[in-house]
Structures are given as structure tokens and as C-alpha cells.
């Protein structure tokens, strides 16, 4: 049996699975009788009322076969129920797990597991001890369908999991509860998912989710209620609502967004968050100098002069803080051959103040030479926000001195003595 922490580590290393083992076409509603709360240290007794509603050890509610499980199931009295963790999760289009919360929006509550039943053996049941809930207010997108599943970890859990029933209710402030249409959709070989359609609405409210699912050893019931703000379609229109298209949209947004002097420079974002998705880029092992391109045209500037850095697009708003670092170009070209880059020579480092007109001054070195300037800013836009990086080649060239006229030379047109 793989332990809780080891199982999480394996999931983080790589969870690339494909295909769904089953998508039940009919639901089996959870029992309405509440099981008494029993501390995990107290022995549990058989519950003769359970068996009729439970899937068999090798079947889900529709009778579709689960992949065979050859291991030995733990009993309820052999697991640490105080260590159980159930969260909302979602799977991407390729069947990869690990996304927190629902597929569209920002809702990622901890679920309260209200009942666990043995599928095999004595078929006993127990109510785990309540856990402290620290769910933050979520954001739900109106006019869209979101997808999720209960992501469960505890010592007795084994895969695969099969959904039995699910219900999702939205209650907008001052209005009657709305039961959202739901359906089962493929996840991967380890679990089914549930899709729920949200009406195009706006305002504060609460989202209540309840799930019943089973694995080869246990049947689970869990629920959660979380405060949410519903965002209407008019606000999210034009924003990418899929992982792959989201990142393409960030690239297109920042392309041509910054000018240094009269030159449009390359800008990109190593760290960003989608405003309407549970995704973003975390910039792990991102180093600005790796964006150096020796083929980029260099901006020519006089020693010690200041270039103006300004927005070239109204689709973004740059923040009030800027960090500027200038390196010798030769050191950068050599450093990027290593990982991490080693040996860059910094000749200038500053934190310029944003000017009243919304621009920054990019100061260049006093000594003539070939340099690379790196700029870090923050940005905001309608669909995303995050860190913005700019890297630009600069040639600092001293002005050519104009020879002074000879003192003995007579001015042109002057009369001869």
C-alpha cells in the first residue's frame, strides 16, 4: 500500500494517463440516513443496510467492470481517518491530473468527507472526524460549463475511482437555489469527472457540491459549500478559457507591447496567472539572460544617456516598479551556455522611478561598449496579470568629435591683408 505522502509525490512527478474506464449513465443516490459520528479509535460494527446500494467490488453502479484489483483492502479500523484529504481537482484535455479546483474559474475548496463504507468484507461504515475548513471565496464563470472530480488521499484509498452520483447547487444572493445540470465525463483511467453548467449570471452567492463515488475498497460521500462571486459572460468574453489557448493569448498580448526609445522590443512573461482559469505560469528556473538573442538589432545610445521605456499597447498596464540590470554582452553570450547561467558581468543595476507620463528611464552605461539590458516589470490586463520581462541589446557609442577649425586659417570671404 502506497502511503499518503509518497502517493502525492508520485502524482507530482508525473500523472500522464489516458482514457476513462467508465462513465456511468445512471446515478445511485446516496443514503439519506446519517451515520453516527465515530472516532477513528473506536471499533466499528457491521451495517447490514449498506449492501443493497453499494457497487460490487468489481463493478460500478451501471455494472461496467473496473480494472481488476489484486491487492488487499484495508478495513475501516486499520486506516487513519484523521489524515484523510479530499479536494476538488480537474484533468486537462490530455488526461493529465493535478490541476487544483474546477476547470474554469477559481473554486478549489476542501471537501468534507461525511461517510466512508467498506465495499468488501463486512461492509462497515463510519463518519470521519470533522476537519477545519479554510476555504477562500471563489470565482465562478457564468455561462460556462466547468469540470471537476473529488481528489482523495488517505492510506486506505486505491485507484480507480468511479463516480456514482453528483449534485451541484448555485444560490445567488437573494435568489432561490438553482440545481445545475450535471453529467459525467471522461477523466483518465483513475477517475471519472463531473461537468456542471452555470447560468450566465452575476453577483455573490454560494456553490454547494455533493459527490458519491467508490474505489475497489471503499465508497465515499463528501460535500462542500463555498462562497463565490459569479462573473458574467460579458466580462470574460474574448479571454481564452483553455490551458493551451491561454498561454498563446499571453504571448500574443505581450508581443509588441513595450517600446524602448523608438524600437519595439521583445517582451514575455515568465510568471503569470489567468484571471478566469485555475492556471498560470510559475516561472520555475526562469532566468532573464536566457532570452538573449545575439541576432536582435542593437539600440544605439550615447554614453550615460537615458532611453525611454513605454507601453506600446493599450491592452496592458505596466506596474509602478521596475528593475533594470545591464550586463556586458560578451559575458551574457558565454554565460547562457551553462545552466544556470554563470559568469555574467553586471555593469549597472537600478530601480528607476515611474515618471508622471507613465514611462520609465532606462539608463545606459557611461563607457562605450556592447551591452545587454534586462528589465523586470509587472503587468495587468483584462484576462491575465503577472511579471513582464524585456531584454534588449544596446550599443553605447561615443559621439564622433568634430575637428575644430584651425586658428591660423582665415575665415572664408575675409579680406586678404
Residue in the structure block whose three cell numbers are 475548496: 109
Q: Could you say which architecture CATH assigns to the domain 243-396?
A: Sandwich (2.60)
The number of residues making up the chain comes to 417
CB-based contact 316:257 (threshold 8 Å): yes
pLDDT above 60: residue 27: no
pLDDT above 60: residue 61: no
pLDDT of residue 66: 54
pLDDT of residue 188: 79
For the chain, the helix, strand and coil percentages under 3-state DSSP, each to the nearest 5:
10, 40, 50
pLDDT of residue 316: 95
Query: What is the pLDDT confidence band of residue 408, given thresholds at 50, 70 and 90?
Result: low
Angle, CA 103 vertex, CA 98 and CA 107 arms, to 5°:
90
pLDDT of residue 412: 54
CA–CA separation, 407 vs 409, rounded Å?
Answer: 6
Residue in the structure block whose three cell numbers are 486499520: 78
Listed in sequence order, the residues at least 6 apart from 259 whose beta carbon sits closer than 8 Å to its beta carbon are 265, 308, 309, 310, 311, 312
CA–CA separation, 379 vs 281, rounded Å?
Answer: 14
pLDDT above 80: residue 385: yes
The DSSP result for 364-415, as a single string, is --SS-EEEEEEEEEEEE-SSEEEEEEEEEEEEE-PPPPPPPPPTTSPPTTPP
Query: What is the pLDDT confidence band of residue 155, given thresholds at 50, 70 and 90?
Result: confident
Q: Where are the domains of the chain?
A: 4-232, 243-396
- The residue among 208, 213, 110, 195 whose CA lies nearest residue 147 is 195
pLDDT above 60: residue 43: no
CA–CA separation, 319 vs 323, rounded Å?
Answer: 11
CA–CA separation, 202 vs 234, rounded Å?
Answer: 10
pLDDT of residue 387: 95
In this structure, is the dihedral angle defined by the CA atoms of residues 229, 230, 236 and 240, taken in order, positive or negative? positive
Q: How many CA atoms lie within 13 A of 42 on its CB side?
A: 11
Listed in sequence order, the residues at least 6 apart from 112 whose beta carbon sits closer than 8 Å to its beta carbon are 86, 130, 131, 133, 222, 223, 224
Highest mean pLDDT among 142-156, 234-248, 297-311, 393-407: 297-311
Three cell numbers written together for 206? 454560494
CB-based contact 87:154 (threshold 8 Å): no
Q: What is the pLDDT of residues 393-404, one digit of tens each?
A: 999 999 877 776
pLDDT above 60: residue 17: no
Mean pLDDT for 28-47 is 35
pLDDT of residue 350: 95
CA–CA separation, 249 vs 243, rounded Å?
Answer: 10
pLDDT of residue 340: 86
43 versus 127: which is more confidently predicted? 127
Q: What is the pLDDT of residues 298-342, one digit of tens each?
A: 999 999 999 999 999 999 999 999 999 999 999 999 999 998 889
375 versus 55: which is more confidently predicted? 375
Highest mean pLDDT among 29-38, 132-141, 355-364: 355-364
Q: What is the pLDDT of residues 272-300, one digit of tens each?
A: 999 998 878 877 677 899 999 999 999 99
First to last CA, the chain: 112
263 versus 85: which is more confidently predicted? 263
329 versus 39: which is more confidently predicted? 329
CB-based contact 348:301 (threshold 8 Å): no
Three cell numbers written together for 350? 537600478
How confident is the prediction for the chain on average, in pLDDT? 80
- The residue among 254, 225, 224, 193 whose CA lies nearest residue 378 is 254
Q: 3-class SS at 145?
A: strand
Query: What is the pLDDT confidence band of residue 45, given thresholds at 50, 70 and 90?
Result: very low
* 213 DSSP β-pair partners: 163, 220
CA–CA separation, 181 vs 105, rounded Å?
Answer: 17
Amino acid at each position: 500500500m502506497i502511503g499518503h505522502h509518497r502517493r502525492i509525490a508520485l502524482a507530482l512527478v508525473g500523472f500522464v494517463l489516458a482514457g476513462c474506464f467508465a462513465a456511468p449513465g445512471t446515478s445511485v443516490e446516496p443514503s439519506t440516513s446519517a451515520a453516527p459520528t465515530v472516532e477513528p479509535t473506536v471499533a466499528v460494527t457491521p451495517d447490514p443496510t449498506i449492501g443493497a446500494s453499494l457497487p460490487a467490488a468489481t463493478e460500478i453502479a451501471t455494472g461496467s467492470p473496473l480494472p481488476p484489483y489484486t491487492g488487499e483492502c484495508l478495513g475501516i479500523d486499520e486506516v487513519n481517518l484523521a489524515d484523510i484529504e479530499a479536494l476538488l481537482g480537474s484533468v486537462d484535455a490530455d488526461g493529465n491530473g493535478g490541476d487544483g479546483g474546477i476547470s474554469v474559474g477559481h473554486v478549489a475548496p476542501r471537501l468534507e468527507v461525511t461517510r466512508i463504507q467498506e465495499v468488501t468484507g463486512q461492509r462497515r461504515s463510519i463518519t470521519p472526524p470533522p476537519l477545519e475548513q479554510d476555504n477562500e471565496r471563489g470565482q465562478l464563470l457564468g455561462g460556462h460549463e466547468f469540470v471537476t472530480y473529488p481528489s482523495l488521499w488517505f492510506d486506505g484509498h486505491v485507484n480507480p475511482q468511479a463516480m456514482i452520483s453528483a449534485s451541484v447547487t448555485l444560490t445567488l444572493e437573494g435568489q432561490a437555489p438553482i440545481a445545475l445540470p450535471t453529467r459525467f465525463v471522461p477523466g483518465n483511467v483513475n477517475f471519472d469527472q463531473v461537468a456542471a453548467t452555470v447560468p450566465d449570471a452575476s453577483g455573490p452567492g454560494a456553490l454547494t457540491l455533493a459527490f458519491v463515488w467508490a474505489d475497489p475498497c471503499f465508497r465515499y460521500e463528501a460535500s462542500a459549500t463555498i462562497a463565490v462571486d459569479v462573473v458574467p459572460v460579458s466580462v470574460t468574453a474574448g479571454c481564452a478559457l483553455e490551458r493551451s489557448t491561454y498561454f498563446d493569448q499571453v504571448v500574443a498580448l505581450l508581443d509588441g507591447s513595450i517600446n524602448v526609445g523608438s524600437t519595439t522590443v521583445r517582451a514575455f512573461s515568465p510568471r503569470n496567472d489567468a484571471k478566469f482559469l485555475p492556471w498560470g505560469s510559475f516561472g520555475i528556473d526562469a532566468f532573464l539572460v536566457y532570452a538573449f538573442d545575439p541576432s536582435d538589432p542593437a539600440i544605439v545610445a550615447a554614453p550615460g544617456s537615458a532611453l525611454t521605456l513605454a507601453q506600446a499597447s493599450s491592452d496592458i498596464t505596466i506596474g509602478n516598479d521596475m528593475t533594470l540590470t545591464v550586463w556586458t554582452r560578451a559575458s551574457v553570450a558565454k554565460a547562457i551556455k551553462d545552466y544556470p547561467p554563470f559568469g555574467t558581468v553586471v555593469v549597472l543595476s537600478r530601480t528607476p522611478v515611474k515618471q508622471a507620463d507613465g514611462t520609465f528611464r532606462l539608463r545606459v552605461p557611461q563607457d562605450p561598449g556592447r551591452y545587454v539590458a534586462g528589465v523586470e516589470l509587472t503587468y495587468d490586463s483584462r484576462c491575465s496579470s503577472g511579471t513582464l520581462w524585456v531584454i534588449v541589446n544596446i550599443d553605447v557609442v561615443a559621439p564622433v568629435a568634430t575637428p575644430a577649425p584651425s586658428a591660423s586659417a582665415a575665415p572664408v570671404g575675409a579680406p586678404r591683408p
